[in-house]
Structure 1
Amino acid sequence: MQRPQTSIKRDILLGAISLLAILGVGLFLYVRNFSLNAADTAFDRVLAASAFSIADSIRVDDGNLTVELPLASLEILGAARETRAFYAVRAPDHSLITGYADLPDAAKANELDRSPAFSDAVYSGAQVRIGTVWRYIDFGEKSGWVNVSVAETREARSQLASDILKNSLAPMMLAGLVICLLISKGLNRAWAPLVALEAELTERAPGDLTSIRTPVPKEVTSLVSSLNGFMQRLDGVLNTLRGIAVDTTHDMRTRLASIRALAEVAATEPDPGLLRSYAGRILANAVDATRIVNQLLADAAIAHHIETSGNPRCDFLELYLEAVERLPTENVQRCRLADLSTAHDDFPVSGAPFALRELIDNLLDNALKYAPDGTIDVDLRTSVDGSTIEFDVADRGPGIPDKDKSRVLERFQRGSEQDHVAGSGLGLNIAKNAAVSAGGNLALLDRPGGGLVARVTLPRSP
């Protein structure tokens, strides 16, 4: 089941909105708590002022405490219609002097603390805020602290806190909306280089594999660099395939033209002897054409394996032994492998196994063709420092002149002394490309006493 397609822009925008929502809830709770505290702070000052006003009106008359209640003290509290006010004045023995007897009060902390005390309570079926102050009255044996408590219901406080909260939420919501719009605009701006990149790739011709020229942010630079590298490798493979196609077309056209010409002549030839001669030549050209096609396919396959398989670790000796098993029985007996008893137990190299097999097959085939009546000598050894592996295939054939050694390593090139042996000029080129892909090289050397040595040098894998 195919996974639903996701949108990075949508995910970022939803994530930002979710984060803003969480921050908004936290800010709402903070502002709500702040508004309640601010309302309490403001109204507590009025509550304390009313209580102090009543406390200042306490008098001693004939040894008794009296209170001439100032009306202004309660009018301040009752300024809001929905607010109700209550009061109570108690003597030092806690007896009621005036007011509401059941109104709760606060216990005095200590004699030195003259600051008002505030508390919340439920009175007369409503939530109230109570402010309490104390006055020390000296009138003989009854001297002591007089308690003055003033309470009011919380309607006005709640209204003020609600107004503060509403006035704070409006700019908060507007700021959140502006932030979301800015994030959306910022995402569109950040995506503009990718849109331009898409437009450049869409408008390109199918065969245009040049590097991307559209400027991109540094966060996308690695992606564009990887894409450019991929297109360069693809262009290299396509160039190789185009070269193979051109070379194949040229060489196959020559072979097919020769076959056709010989077939046309043979079709009108009455002499059986000449007819057999023409048939032999047609067969030889067909064999050459088949060999060319097979080697060209192998060359293309090597290029593909090099690009796709990377350079895994493999044992070169195992690859050689597998190549010998693929030879005809009579050719196996002609391959003399040097004594490996003093060499390393294994010969690890890093390279595409398919390419290395083709390297060994082509070097063995090439040597066997030029030593038809003799044997070839194969040597596999590790350098003294253990850093490289050398693979030699030596024959007693005619060899290759020094002036031709570099040329015969190119595609469809053969030495001047090799015209009498059938070949396509691709074997050594395939071997060279396989060696280079594994980090090594192929060298053609003169063999002491006559003949040729094809030496492959490869880095030894750790």
Structure 2
Amino acid sequence: MAKSETSLFARMVVRVAAVLLFGAAGLVVAAWFYARTAADVAYDRLLQGAAVQIVENLAIIDGKVEVTVPASAFKLLALAERDRIFYRVIGPQGRTLTGYADLQPDPRKLPKSDEVSLLSTHFRGSPVRMAIAGRRFFDPSFTGPAYAIVAQTTEARHALISELTSRATGLVGIMSLFGLAGAVLAVGYSLRPLNRLGAALRQRDPRDLTELAVEAPREMRPFVDSINHFMGRLGGRLKQSERFVADSAHQIRTPLTAISAQLNMVDETGLDQASREHLDRARERVTEMARLIHQLLSHALVIHRFESTALAPVDLVAVTRHAFRAAVPITIDPDIVVSFEAPETPVIVMADTLSLREAITNIIDNAVRHGAVARLEVRVRTEGETQAVVEVEDDGPGIGAEDWTRLTQRFAASSGGKGVSGLGFAIASEVTQALGGRLWHRPATATERFAVVMTLPLAPEAADRKEG
């Protein structure tokens, strides 16, 4: 049994989804970096502008550095309601001219004149971003640098980063879903040739071993070629089996016929009683062997025909009448009353004529050999609107319920050791099952005789006509 695995469609969709997931994760990380950069650039420019405005408004009056902090320097920074703003102006000798005296930058980060430095640090327990703008004065009363420091907490920029990242994540998620849906459609469309190939194989007649004529992509050609190669080999094997059956029938039946003829030519006038008994046993064995070989070949033929022949509408009345004539010998005991009953109109079923006739012949033959004592009746009738029935009834002892199952198997015999059926019921049972019917027996009762009954479904056209 082939190992069951997930479908190719599911495997491809899972792999595409994994690729999209990794791609989406990469895009989200890139969006976070971009959002952080954008937020830093936007807020850093505001800090730089504020620091530059403050340092530009420094002036030397009467030899002293005077500070005038413009309100506009903090208006834009004040738009970030979550953030706190700190500033400090450093004059000569590092004196604090105004602002927070404890706002101490790293001396190594102090810019040169007319430059602005940016750094991240902590102030009063909060992370801040700091801008330091420098200006050098050249005046007879004062020469040296002065600095304006503006610091802002980072809550607003982190909120902006989160907002930009979440929006980008949502957009990436939506695009990924659209991409996955498109991938599902694309994979399904790409796998249509496999579905067409599967449909062609499912709808193909089991007896059709010709090459597949189905359009397939280049990647599927080795698979289609392998199927065609296998069907070619299988067809060759079936033809060999057919030839073997035909050759066996000819090669085996001919010597048996010759042996039977030689035994019938033996002059019994000079034989004693024991020799006559031996001769009778030999004739019986040859007859049994001929019948068994005929059943074996018939069984092989039935199997082969069901594998290689399409079913067609068949008149069950005509087939049963032919089987009746073949199974009831001319030399039957004249004391046995034999009858055949059938409707005048055809009873149409879907079957293979030869296989169906062989099955009915075996049922009648078994009744002639092992059942009928004084009466044998064969009837064909319809039952309801959908069933056709062949009934073979005799006045023999019948078959017990415990023996019936075994008698539909090969070389089965009744529990009493008599009435060996060989392959007769086995052939009939296999043919009936292959045609969608049922083979069963009706036990003998005080009012009814024993019967073997074959029920088959009527052909659709025949069933429609009955309903009409």
TM-score between both structures, scaled by the size of structure 1? 0.56
Tell me which residue corresponds to 2:39: 39
Deviations 1:57-87 (A, max 9, x none): 1011221111111111112211222222111
Q: Percent identity?
A: 27
Q: Could you tell me which residue of structure 1 aligns to residue 199 of structure 2?
A: 199
1:10 aligns with 2:29: no
Distance 1:9 1:114 in 2: 66
The equivalent of 1:232 in structure 2 is 232
SS at match of 1:140: coil
Alpha carbons 1:129, 1:152 under 8 Å: kept: yes
Deviation, structure 1 residue 170: 2.0
* RMSD of aligned Cα (Å): 3.4
Once the two structures are superposed, residues 108-127 of structure 1 have per-residue CA deviations (whole angstroms, 9 ceiling, x without a partner) of: 66976743211111112322
Report what 1:19 is aligned to: 19
Q: CA deviation at 1:35?
A: 0.2
How far the C-alpha of 1:55 sits from its partner, in A, is: 0.7
1:165 matched residue in structure 2: 165
Look up the SS of the partner of 1:78 in the other structure: helix
Aligned to 2:412: none
Residue 253 of structure 1 aligns to which amino acid in structure 2?
Answer: R
Amino acid paired to 2:269: P
Instruction: Find the counterpart in structure 2 of residue 264 from structure 1.
Output: 264
**Alignment pair present for 1:80 and 2:77:** no
Aligned to 2:145: 145
Structure 1 residue 3: deviation in Å? 6.2
Structure 2 residue aligned with 1:366: none
Deviations 1:245-281 (CA, angstroms, capped at 9, x unpaired): 1122123222222222222222x54357xx9xxx9xx
The equivalent residue for 1:314 is none
CA distance in 1, matches of 2:180, 2:238: 48
Instruction: Give the letter aligned to residue 94 of structure 2.
Output: H
Deviations along 1:429-458, whole A, 9 cap, x unmatched? xxxxxxxxxxxxxxxxxxxxxxxxxxxxxx
Contact in 2 for aligned 1:118/1:132 (Cα 8 Å): yes
Partner of 2:132: 132
- Counterparts of 1:111 and 1:33 in 2: how far apart (Å)? 27
Q: TM-score, normalised by structure 2?
A: 0.55
Q: CA deviation at 1:6?
A: 2.7
Instruction: Judge conservation of contact 2:120–2:128 (CA < 8 Å) in 1.
Output: yes
SS in 1 for 2:214: coil
- The answer to whether the 8 A contact 1:106-1:117 is kept is no
Matched residues in 2 for 1:111 and 1:80: separation? 26
Structural mapping, 1:181-220, within 5 Å: 181-220=181-220
Tell me which amino acid in the other structure corresponds to 1:256: L
Letter in 2 for 1:213: A
Distance of aligned partners of 1:19 and 1:101 in 2 relative to their CA distance in 1, 3 Å threshold: same
User: In the alignment, which residue of structure 2 is the partner of 1:89?
Assistant: 89
Aligned amino acid, residue 54 of structure 2? I
Output aligned runs, 1:371-386, within 5 Å: none
SS of 1:131's equivalent in the other structure is: strand
The one-letter code sitting in structure 2 at the alignment partner of 1:128 is V
Does the CA contact (< 8 Å) of 2:111 and 2:132 recur in 1? no
The residue type equivalent to 1:261 in the other structure is: A
Task: Kindly indicate whether the alpha-carbon contact (under 8 Å) linking 1:121 and 1:128 is maintained by their aligned counterparts in 2.
Answer: yes
User: What is the total number of aligned residue pairs between the two structures?
Assistant: 285
Taking the aligned partners of 1:152 and 1:8, their CA distance within structure 2 comes to 57
Report the equivalent of 2:100.
Answer: 100
Match of residue 358 from structure 1 = none
Q: For residues 14 and 252 of structure 2, what CA distance do their matches in structure 1 show?
A: 63
Q: Aligned residue for 2:356?
A: none
Question: Following the alignment from structure 1 to structure 2, what is the Cα–Cα distance between the partners of residues 149 and 261?
Answer: 131
Distance 1:152 1:29 in 2: 26
**Structure 1 portions without partners, runs of 5+:** 294-462
> Per-residue displacement from partner, 1:378-429 (whole Å, max 9, x unpaired)?
xxxxxxxxxxxxxxxxxxxxxxxxxxxxxxxxxxxxxxxxxxxxxxxxxxxx
Q: Which residue of 1 aligns with 2:374?
A: none
